[in-house]
Amino acid sequence: MNKYILLSLLLIITSSLNSSFSQQYSFEELIIAKETNPQIYIEAKRAAINQELPVSIKIPGGILIDVIKVENDEILYSVIKNLLNPFSNGEILTYNQVMQKYDLTDAEINWGGMINNEQPENVATQLLLIPDWTNDNVLSFDPITGNLVNANYIPPNPGNLASPKHALLNVNGFISVSDQITDLVQKFDTSGNYLGIYAPAGGVNNNILDNLRGHAYRPNGNLLVTVGSGANTNAVPEFDLAGNYLGNFIAIGAGGLNSPFCVLFRTSDVLVTGSSSDAAHRYDLNGTYINNLITGVQFPQQIIELPNGNLALAIFSTPSGLGIYDSNGNQLNFFTAVTGLRGVYQLPSGNFVVTNGAGLHEIDGTNGSLIRTIYASANLQYISLVDYSTIPVELVSFSANVNGSGVELNWATATETNNQGFEIERSADGFNFSQIGYVPGFGTTTEPKSYSYTDQSVTSGTYYYRLKQIDFDGSFTYSGVVEAEVALPTEFSLEQNYPNPFNPATKIEFSLPVDAQVKISVYNLVGEKVAEVVNEDFTAGNHRIDYNASQLTSGVYLYKLEAVDVTGNNYTSVKKMTLLK
C-alpha cells in the first residue's frame, strides 16, 4: 500500500478516535468542572507541556483554545468562539482536530510560558490585580481606564502558583494570592517577588485548606479563606496576621453554605457566595448565619459593594451575567452582554469590567452593553483594587540567620509613613510571642531603609521571630514569622569578652556541648582570685553572662572558665580582659 494512502487512513482513524473522546463530555460540563476543581485543568497543562503541545492558542478573529482535560493520555481542548458568551457554540476538541479545523498560521501559541516577559516596572500606587490560571501569574490593569498595565505583574512562580484565584493587599504591605491547587495563600512583595507561604503557617494542611478560592481580610487584619474540598469543606477558616489557623470564622455548612467562593465585608455584615447553594449567604461580623441575601443564582462567584451601597454579583452558570442588587438583595439589573462571569469591578466612569473564560471586558454601567474586550485570555479570575499609598510601612524583606551564638534579624522597608519603630518578638512554639527588643523607625520616608537586631539570649533549639511595627498614633501591624534553628555546640569554648576594654560592665560568652557545672572566676595578674562571676549548672548550648567590675580598679585581669560534665570530664580556658575607668 502507498505510504501516503496509509498515512491518510491513520489520520482518519485517529481523528475518529479523538472524536469519540471529545464527545464523552459536554462543553459546559467540562467548563464548570474546571471551575470547581481546577486539578483536572492543571493535569491537562502538565500533560500538554510534557507532550510538547500548546497550553493555549489565540486565533485572530476571537477564538480562544485552552487545555481542559486529559483522557487516556489524550489532551482535550476547550474552544471558545464567542468571547462575550463562552458557553455559546463552544466545543471540545483534541489537538489533531484543532489543527484540522483551524488555521494556526497567525495564531499566538502559548507552549507553557509567558508569550512576552518584557514588562514595565511596577510603579503605580493604585492597580487592579487579576490572576490568570493559564500562565499562573497575576496581571495588573489601570483602575481608572481598565487598560492593561503589566501582563506579568507577578510572574509565574513554578511550584508556588498553580491556579491563582484572588490577589489582595495585606495591611503589612505584601500581596496575598490564594491558589486553588497548592492549597496555600502565598506572599509576594509589591514588585512581584515571591516572599513565601502566608497561610497556613508551616505549609500545606488539607485539614484546614483544600481547594481554596477567594479570600478576604477582617477589619482586625485577620485572613479569611473559602474552602471547597477536604475535611474543612464548605467552611471559611480564619488566620491571624502571621498566618496561624485560629479556627473557622464561618462553620462548615453554616446556613446551608455549599462550595463557597467569595467573601465580602460590609459595615454590619458579611456576604459569602456559594456556587452549589446558589446564593449569597449573609452572616454577622462574628460569622453567625443571618439569612440568604440573594437566592436563585446559578454559580455566583465574586461579589462587590458599589460606592452607592448596591451590590454587583458575577454569575458563572446559565442563566449567566452580571447581577446588580440593592443593599437588601433586591435585583435592580441583570446584564447579559457578557456571560460566564468570574470577577467584577466598577470603574470610576460607572462602567464595569468583568472576567470570564475569554478575558477582561468592559460593559456599560447603565444598560450593560459591551464597550470593548480589554484583554483576551482563557482564565482571568477575580478583580481586586490595591492602593499602595495606604501602606504605613512597606516591609519588603525580613530574615533570621544564626550568627555565632546569636540570631541576627535583618529587615528592610521600601517606604515608611509615621513609623515610630519596631518591637522584636520571639516565640518558642510559633504561637506565643513576647517582646525581646525594640528598634526605632525613620518616621516618614520614601527612601529604602535597612534594619538589624541580634538576639544573643538563645541556646539551642528552634526560635520564631516577628516584628510589631508601631505608628506614632499607637496603631500597629505584625510582619510574617521567620524561623531560626540554633544547633548545639560541638565543643567547649570560651569567647573573648565584649566590649573589651570595658567600664565597668562586659559580657562573657561560652559554649557547652553537654550539660555541665560551670565556674567563671576573675584573677589579677599575680594569680589572686578577685571575683567569682558564676558557679552553677548550665544546659548544653550557647550562654552569655553579664559581669560588672565596678568593685575593681583599672587594669588587666584574667577570667577563667572551668566546666565539669556529668561524667567528670573537665574543660578549662583562660582569657584576658582590660578594665579602664
Q: Give the pLDDT confidence score for residue 113 in this predicted structure.
A: 55
In this structure, how many other beta carbons lie within 10 angstroms of the beta carbon of residue 322? 22
Residue 166 has pLDDT above 50, yes or no: yes
For residues 358 and 314, which has the higher predicted lDDT (pLDDT)? Answer: 314
Amino acid at 425: E
Residue 385 has pLDDT above 60, yes or no: yes
Burial class (CB in 10 A: 0-12, 13-18, 19+), 109: middle
Residue 12 has pLDDT above 60, yes or no: no
For residues 105 and 118, which has the higher predicted lDDT (pLDDT)? Answer: 105
Name residue, grid cell 530574615: 399
Quickly state the pLDDT bin for 393 (edges 50, 70, 90).
confident
Q: Give the pLDDT confidence score for residue 297 in this predicted structure.
A: 96
HSE toward the beta carbon, residue 71, CA cutoff 13 A: 19
Residue 337's region, left for phi above 0, alpha for psi from -120 to 50, else beta, is alpha
What's the mean pLDDT in 434-440? Answer: 95
Please write the tens of the pLDDT for every residue from 511-537. Answer: 888 899 999 999 999 999 999 999 999
Burial letters 543-558, b for 16+ CB under 10 A, else e: bbbebebeeeeeeebb
Most confident segment among 35-49, 153-167, 249-263: 249-263
Q: Give the pLDDT confidence score for residue 141 in this predicted structure.
A: 94
Give the distance, in angstroms, between the CA of residue 537 and the centroid of all CA atoms in the same chain.
46
Q: What is the DSSP string of 175-213?
A: EEEEETTTTEEEEE-TTS-EEEEEESTTS--TTT-SSEE
What is the residue-averaged pLDDT of the chain?
88
Q: Has this prediction a pTM greater than 0.75?
A: no
What's the mean pLDDT in 25-43? Answer: 85
Q: Give the pLDDT confidence score for residue 382 in this predicted structure.
A: 98
What's the mean pLDDT in 389-394? Answer: 73
Q: Give the pLDDT confidence score for residue 24 in this predicted structure.
A: 62
Q: Give the pLDDT confidence score for residue 2 in this predicted structure.
A: 41
Q: Which of 293, 297, 384, 361 is nearest to 84 (CA)?
A: 361
Percent of the chain with pLDDT over 70: 92
The counts of H helices and E strands in the chain are 4, 43
Quickly state the pLDDT bin for 295 (edges 50, 70, 90).
very high
Q: Give the pLDDT confidence score for residue 111 in this predicted structure.
A: 77
Q: Give the pLDDT confidence score for residue 118 in this predicted structure.
A: 40
